[in-house]
Chain A
């Protein structure tokens, strides 16, 4: 049975990876789940210097999901190179670095520093809804997205995965813009902008007022967007949004994703990704599928 997939020349032993920001740099969860079982670890967003993030409360639960407004707190690329890459290199898994910035220059600073490091690809977060300056701005205007993608592609020595925002009128246009800018792959969805109000205190629950919605509550929307994006472009697609089990992951593969990422459900069950990888194998066995690639975009009317 072959569970390997290839994204922009990077072979993953299976199509299951972590969603950025829910898994740190793998360290925190490594005592609870086997990183060797993962196709890749996608890291928390890394900027060119340490970021403080937003005031608290930063997270809250909502029906079937959660809202977060972390604001990309991260130690910056220098600490990442010194501390997190050596840690991740101990495991037999791919390393995909999620990159964030307030300006194209800041993205480029990170990419330049990582170009000679043993990491496998960049995932460019142009879709964080929780940072006031920049970030989402790069991901909501097709022209800006295309231009940003091109400038990063020109500098990057590794595959560039553009992470798309669902907070747009046409996901298809954004996927096409990333493709036109030279992206090697796209990933989606980032979180949907949401809100929660405490009616006793008559206050916003999150200090940032709004936060990104994730978890099973977003899955149908995410699946539809992955389907639309995957059918608009020739690029490989990494699908995510509410994946809780192998069945969910298989839906994303059938919709056109080459690989899938698990985010919020790691909080509910730290072994979710391992279970998804096992469950995909069980499904393949049951249905006599020899190669997981047979599932990609196999959905029919």
Chain B
């Protein structure tokens, strides 16, 4: 059941630059699926809206969940200042998530670009647990390869950096081609140009693609219709071609969404 709840900060640290890792103790950890997200509320009363952040990982006991986020704007900068043993208000668990069951018996490729990398970690973990073979390609701007080691323990991991300081010089698609990582299913999260390229590439090579989309949100639960994306078929809520990323997404079959 969706709810707003207090969560205890178990660990909070800076991974590199503006990237922070936050472990929260919350019963929501037991319900979290890869690809789902939660909303974190800033405490400053002038910042009313929750910040949607993907679930990056869950601990072995499923009592804590991990978020890895970029402190880019005012709200996430404020959040980055909260310390272990302090409490935060969170809204969750939100969104649909990836359907790991559907991937059984298939070869899966995970693509994460920049701050789109975190949600791929829990997916890699659950695929590994379900005995589904997968490769991952992580795309970074430079050699600051946050979460790389965690991926290495779960699957074959390749890296692409824009400045060429690590792995393939270029995008995740360049690394995918260079290493011939063709598979049945590709799951991707990252900036819009990357998602468009993945959609195109998957279509050309006959792979099934699932994309994790982002949009500005107010409610996070489907009530405000703020976060829609254009779809090929009519959407279940309004019966037009605008579906809600916070409820029907954020994970979509690439063929379903018009990017």
A: which residues have CB within 8 A of B? 21-24, 28-29, 31-32, 44, 50-53, 56-61, 63-66, 68, 70, 73-76, 79, 215-216, 264-271
Contact = CB atoms under 8 A, between A and B. Distances in A.
12 contacts: A23-B223, A28-B223, A31-B3, A52-B241, A64-B45, A64-B46, A73-B225, A73-B238, A79-B239, A266-B219, A268-B49, A270-B91
Contacts of B216: 56-60
A141 B1 CA distance: 46
Contacts of A52: 238, 240-242
A70 B1 CA distance: 27
Given A24-B224, A58-B226, A267-B218, 19 more contacts: A21-B224, A24-B222, A24-B223, A28-B221, A28-B247, A50-B240, A57-B216, A58-B216, A61-B49, A61-B75, A64-B46, A66-B48, A70-B226, A75-B240, A76-B239, A215-B48, A264-B48, A265-B48, A270-B4
Contact of B48 (A61, A73, A79): A61
A269 B4 contact: yes
Contacts of A22: 219, 223-224
Contacts of A270: 3-4, 91, 221
Contacts of A31: 1-3
B47 interface: yes
Contact of A267 (B45, B49, B238, B242): B49
Contacts of A65: 48
Interface of B: 1-4, 41, 45-50, 75, 91, 215-229, 237-242, 247
Given A51-B240, A66-B48, A79-B239, A73 B228 contact: yes
Contacts of B218: 59, 66, 68, 264, 267
A62 to B, nearest CB: 9
Contacts of A64: 45-46, 48
Given A58-B226, A75-B237, A267 B47 contact: no
A50 B226 contact: no
Contacts of A76: 239
Among A22, A58, A63, A74, chain B packs the most CB atoms within 10 A around the CB of A58
A56 B227 contact: yes
B228 A56 contact: yes
Contacts of A56: 215-216, 226-229
Of all A-B residue pairs in the complex, the 9 with the closest CB atoms, nearest first, are A59-B226, A24-B223, A28-B223, A28-B222, A268-B48, A59-B218, A75-B238, A57-B216, A73-B225
Nearest to A60: B216
Contacts of A74: 238
